Structure 1
């Protein structure tokens, strides 16, 4: 067992204070769901059954159209399994300027409306990939120009305002591998360029580690901007290999770069403790990117992960 795994295992057994400001959930992503429709994914009723069986109360909507989009039906399906919805998720390309606003809003509004109907308070916003998530082919330059950074910042502020005014939701922008908001430098630049009254951050611990970031330091430095958490770990050995080879994110996932807690990095206990010190109510949604995966794989992992997080006080 390497040092990172020994450290995580020792923390797992140590008693911890209750994390009473953290609400734990999971998401379709932890069941290998990346797309609204895909024959490699488990059917949505199985996801709902198993996420409840694993001991979670909160879920995200996942890709729009994977779960039922009729609010009445979705309320019935979630309620009878003891589940509630914390957030919806959208992808945006606002760095491309005002020309993409109408197309962006058409997508955002349908997801935000469903999230609102389900009683959620958040909309997770993921920047568009600069490499295609299916083919791994480059779509555009990896680095934004100064003008594109301005368009990204002003577009996200507009989005934050409109989503709050029309649907009562707060946006949480998700730094993500193979997007333009990924590294510590890019995250700092984005946060410094946007209004904290309109734009918060969804800190995904796995993606931030994948891109070289320190989650605890980000929470301690920009705590007032952390509005939402995704809990995830990376396998450091696989990460070193894919980084050295420049492997795109999709193939890296298929190589197992995202792994089951507490076997990877970052250690989640310090992250949760740092979030608890913010004295704010936060969702912490478990995600383990593993598309595609065998249909019987997710449930045992989800159960073990929920038990691990309970041992951390969450």
Structure 2
């Protein structure tokens, strides 16, 4: 059985897809027309043959879905009518509770529980988040991602993971570029400090590669704890110190590329993913594709070829997912 394909809503954020001239124009239009926004996203997903969606920051977040359809249950029905479903939601909103200081734990937990309740009603069970961003290299005073810092992050993750687990939801941490969960060492340290019953991993093949890491090696080491993964390609490691500010996400874009055109070993990645609890979903992330339908079709072809090679070499008896 072939895994289901999914994508993050950010795939549809290119203004050209909407006939608009800027990201700001898209945000404004989608805010004023949430139902029209979601209907077009759903139609494009169905056209691309991608059946799963990960919610993210505005305009494709939980609040937008609720404004468009009034409830998670109604949103779920609209998706199901097109053969679609929610896979996960990413805590990436500008107004999300900040983990940096760790002195607002009740607010952090309450925010996560609200999202988990939505996911449960929407038929999904994975809440994705990231750790806070690093500071620009050379900043004074320096900010160190050390054992004390990671212990504090682990404490927060435990509290959030336990809270959302009561809703039947898994907390999965995403390996974002320039965050404090970016380098292979960051990932290994954080995973060692957290309880596998409450804290899961969402590795992003592109971002790990951008940090000079080996996405396949990371996936193999932490396979039992991978609830979901982002399939994305990279042109190579980021070899300069980028300024970490509000523009960092845009300035990372030139280092990202379409699946199959970069440095990620897709056969190795598919093999590692086939041995994880998240093997049933392949989430292809394509930031702001001008033609998301074509880009998703091309991405799924790359993933299918890699997965079929795994099935042919390993046989389905050694893998959790078959790509027949």
TM-score, normalized by length of structure 1? 0.78
- Aligned with 2:240: secondary structure? helix
Instruction: Write out per-residue CA displacement over residues 76-104 of structure 1, whole angstroms, 9 at most, x where no aligned residue.
Output: 3212221011111215643522x221221
Structure 2 gaps, min length 5: 15-22, 31-36, 309-322
* Partner in structure 2 of residue 272 of structure 1: 270
After superposing the two structures, state which structure 1 stretch, 101-110 or 55-64, moved more: 101-110
* Partner in structure 2 of residue 126 of structure 1: 130
* Partner in structure 2 of residue 12 of structure 1: none
Task: Note if contact 1:130-1:139 (Cα within 8 Å) is conserved in structure 2.
Answer: no
How far residue 112 of structure 1 moved from its aligned partner, in angstroms, is 1.2
Q: How does 1:181-260 map to 2 (within 5 A)?
A: 181-236=181-236, 239-240=237-238, 243-244=239-240, 246=242, 248=244, 249-254=248-253, 256-260=254-258
Instruction: Write out per-residue CA displacement over residues 176-227 of structure 1, whole angstroms, 9 at most, x where no aligned residue.
Output: 1121111011111101111111111001111111111212111222222222
* Partner in structure 2 of residue 310 of structure 1: 304
* Partner in structure 2 of residue 96 of structure 1: 101
Instruction: Write out per-residue CA displacement over residues 214-251 of structure 1, whole angstroms, 9 at most, x where no aligned residue.
Output: 12111222222222111001123xx55xx325355323
TM-score, normalized by length of structure 2? 0.76
Detail structure 1 runs of 4+ shifted over 4 Å in the superposition: 138-142
Q: How does 1:135-174 map to 2 (within 5 A)?
A: 142-165=143-166, 167-174=167-174
Structure 1 gaps, min length 5: 1-17, 133-137
* Partner in structure 2 of residue 55 of structure 1: 49
After superposing the two structures, state which structure 1 stretch, 147-156 or 86-95, moved more: 86-95
Rounded to whole Å, the distance in 2 between the matches of 1:181 and 1:210 is 12
- More RCO (CA 8 Å, sep 6+): 1
Q: Structure 2 vs 1, CA of residues 111 and 86 (structure 1 numbering), >3 Å: closer, same or farther?
A: same
How far residue 260 of structure 1 moved from its aligned partner, in angstroms, is 0.9
Q: How does 1:16-31 map to 2 (within 5 A)?
A: 20=2, 22-31=3-12
- Aligned with 1:266: secondary structure? coil
Q: Structure 2 vs 1, CA of residues 277 and 109 (structure 1 numbering), >3 Å: closer, same or farther?
A: closer
Instruction: Tell me whether 1:68 sits opposite 2:62 in the alignment.
Output: no
Instruction: Write out per-residue CA displacement over residues 104-144 of structure 1, whole angstroms, 9 at most, x where no aligned residue.
Output: 12321222111111111211122233469xxxxx8995533
- Aligned with 2:203: secondary structure? strand
- Aligned with 1:196: secondary structure? coil
Rounded to whole Å, the distance in 1 between the matches of 2:296 and 2:141 is 36
After superposing the two structures, state which structure 1 stretch, 224-233 or 39-48, moved more: 39-48
